[in-house]
C-alpha cells in the first residue's frame, strides 16, 4: 500500500466501525482519529424525539467532525497512514433523513463552507450489515440512549447508507458485507481484510467473505 494514505471506515450505527478502526490502526501502524460520539449533548434527546432534536444533533456533529479533521491537517499527521471511523460527506445521509426542508437549507450552507478545505480519503471502507444484525450488535453493546432507537429508523438509515455508497465515486471504495464475519474475535477475518486493503488501488470492490466451518465443504 502506498504511503500518505487517509483511510476511512464507514457504515451505519452498530456495524462495528470503531472496533475495526482500532484493530486496523495496529495492523497498519496508523494514526487513529476516532469520533467522540458521547460528547454530543443532544444525542440522548435525539433518540427520544428525533424530530425535535435532529437539527441540534446534526449541527453539533457536523461542526465537531469538521473541527477534528481540520486540526489533523494543521498538525501535519499525514506523513503516515491515518485511519478515521467517520467520513464527513456521510453527515448528509443523516441530514436528509432527519431534517426539515427549512433546516436543510441552512445545513447545506454550513456544510459547503466546512467541506471545501477537507481532504478526500485515499480509501473508504464501507461496512454493510442487514438491519437485524445491526440491531443485535446495538443491543449487545448496551448503550442506554440507543435503547430508544426505533427499528424503522434503522431500516431507513441502512438503506440510505447503501444508496449513498452505491453512487460514491470520489475515492477508491471497498464494500464489505459483515454479516458472516467477526474481525474482533477471529484473527483470520482481520488478516484477510488487511491483505485486501493493501491490495486496493482504485475503483470499487465488493467483498463478501464467509468463514468456512468444519461442517461446511471447503
Q: Mutual orientation of helices 17-27 and 187-199 as an angle, nearest 10°? A: 70
Enzyme catalytic residues: 85
In degrees rounded to 5, what are phi and psi of residue 92?
-70, -20
Distances (CA, A) of 19 to 24, 34, 52, 84, 184: 9, 10, 31, 11, 7
Residues in the chain: 218
Pairing of strands 204-207, 6-10: unpaired
Amino acid at each position: 500500500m502506498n504511503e500518505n494514505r487517509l483511510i476511512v471506515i464507514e457504515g451505519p450505527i452498530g456495524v462495528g466501525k470503531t472496533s475495526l478502526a482500532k484493530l486496523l490502526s495496529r495492523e497498519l501502524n496508523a494514526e487513529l482519529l476516532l469520533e467522540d460520539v458521547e460528547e454530543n449533548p443532544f444525542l440522548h434527546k435525539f433518540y427520544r424525539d428525533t424530530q425535535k432534536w435532529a437539527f441540534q444533533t446534526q449541527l453539533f456533529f457536523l461542526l465537531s467532525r469538521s473541527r477534528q479533521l481540520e486540526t489533523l491537517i494543521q498538525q501535519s499527521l499525514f506523513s503516515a497512514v491515518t485511519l478515521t471511523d467517520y467520513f464527513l460527506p456521510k453527515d448528509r445521509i443523516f441530514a436528509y433523513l432527519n431534517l426539515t426542508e427549512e433546516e436543510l437549507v441552512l445545513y447545506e450552507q454550513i456544510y459547503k463552507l466546512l467541506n471545501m478545505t477537507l481532504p478526500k480519503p485515499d480509501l473508504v471502507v464501507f461496512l454493510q450489515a442487514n438491519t437485524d444484525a445491526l440491531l443485535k450488535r446495538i443491543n449487545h453493546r448496551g448503550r442506554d440512549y440507543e435503547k430508544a432507537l426505533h427499528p424503522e429508523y434503522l431500516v431507513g438509515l441502512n438503506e440510505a447508507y447503501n444508496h449513498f455508497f452505491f453512487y460514491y465515486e470520489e475515492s477508491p471504495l471497498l464494500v464489505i458485507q459483515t454479516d458472516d464475519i467477526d474481525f474482533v474475535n477471529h484473527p483470520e477475518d482481520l488478516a484477510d481484510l488487511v491483505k485486501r486493503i493493501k491490495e486496493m488501488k482504485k475503483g470499487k470492490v465488493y467483498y463478501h467473505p464467509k468463514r468456512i466451518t468444519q461442517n461446511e465443504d471447503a
